[in-house]
Structure 1
Amino acid sequence: MKHISSPNNAVIRHVEQLQRKSKARKKEGLFIIEGQREILLATRGKFIMEQILVCGPILLDTSTFTAQDVYSKLEIHQSPEIISVTQEVYEKMAYRSGTEGCIAFAKARSQQLNDLELTDTPLILIAESTEKPGNLGALLRTADAAKVDAVIIANPTADLFNPNVIRSSVGCLFTIPTAVCSTKELIGFLSDKNIDLYAATLQSSERYDRIDYRNASAIAVGTEATGLSEEMRAAAKANIIIPMSGEIDSMNVSVSAAIMIFEAKRQRDFK
Structure 2
Amino acid sequence: MNHLYIGSPQNDKVKHWASLLVKKNRDREGQYIIEGVHLIQEAVKSGATVLQMVYDDERGMPAELEDIALTGNLKAEWIRASRAVMGKCTDTDTPPPVFAVLRKPDMLMDKLYGSTSLVIALDGVRDPGNVGTIIRSADAAGADAVVLGQGCVDLYNPKTVRSTMGSLFHLPIIQGDLAEMLPKARAAGAKAIGTSLQADHSCYSYDWRQPTWLLMGSESEGLSPEVRALVSESVIIPMEGGAESLNVAMATTVLLFEALRQRKFV
* TM-score category (smaller protein): 0.7 to 0.9
User: 1:54–1:101: 8 Å Cα contact kept in structure 2?
Assistant: yes
CA distance in 2, matches of 1:178, 1:76: 29
Q: Is residue 27 from structure 1 mapped to residue 23 from structure 2 by the alignment? A: no
Q: CA deviation at 1:31?
A: 0.7
Q: TM-score with structure 1 length normalisation?
A: 0.86
Say which of 175, 189, 203 aligns to 1:180: 175
Q: Which has the higher helix share?
A: 1
Q: TM-score with structure 2 length normalisation?
A: 0.88
User: 2:136–2:164: 8 Å Cα contact kept in structure 1?
Assistant: yes
Instruction: Give ranges in structure 1 of 5+ residues lacking alignment.
Output: 63-67
Q: CA deviation at 1:149?
A: 1.0
Q: After superposing the two structures, state which structure 1 stretch, 179-188 or 251-260, moved more.
A: 179-188
Q: CA deviation at 1:49?
A: 1.2
Counterpart in 2 of 1:48?
A: 49
Q: Could you say if the C-alpha distance between residues 76 and 97 of structure 1 is closer, same or farther in structure 2, counting changes exceeding 3 Å?
A: farther
Q: CA deviation at 1:48?
A: 0.7
Say which of 208, 211, 220 aligns to 1:216: 211
Percent sequence identity over aligned pairs: 29
Q: Is residue 71 from structure 1 mapped to residue 64 from structure 2 by the alignment? A: no
User: 1:40–1:76: 8 Å Cα contact kept in structure 2?
Assistant: no
Counterpart in 2 of 1:258?
A: 253
Q: Could you say if the C-alpha distance between residues 197 and 61 of structure 1 is closer, same or farther in structure 2, counting changes exceeding 3 Å?
A: closer
Instruction: Give ranges in structure 2 of 5+ residues lacking alignment.
Output: none
SS at match of 1:142: helix
Q: CA deviation at 1:2?
A: 1.6
CA distance in 1, matches of 2:123, 2:57: 41
Counterpart in 2 of 1:16?
A: 18
Q: Is residue 3 from structure 1 mapped to residue 5 from structure 2 by the alignment? A: yes
Q: CA deviation at 1:99?
A: 7.0
Supply the RMSD in Å over aligned alpha carbons.
Answer: 2.5
Q: Is residue 125 from structure 1 mapped to residue 126 from structure 2 by the alignment? A: no
Cα deviation code 1:111-167 (max 9, x no counterpart): 36x354665312211111111122111111111111211111121431111101101
Cα deviation code 1:28-63 (max 9, x no counterpart): 11111111111222223332111111225535369x
Residue 61 of structure 2 aligns with an amino acid whose one-letter code is: L
SS at match of 1:152: strand
CA distance in 1, matches of 2:229, 2:13: 49
Q: CA deviation at 1:83?
A: 1.0
Say which of 70, 86, 93 aligns to 2:82: 86
CA distance in 1, matches of 2:91, 2:59: 15
User: 1:59–1:102: 8 Å Cα contact kept in structure 2?
Assistant: no
Q: Could you say if the C-alpha distance between residues 218 and 117 of structure 1 is closer, same or farther in structure 2, counting changes exceeding 3 Å?
A: closer
CA distance in 2, matches of 1:229, 1:117: 21
Counterpart in 2 of 1:106?
A: 102
SS at match of 2:255: helix
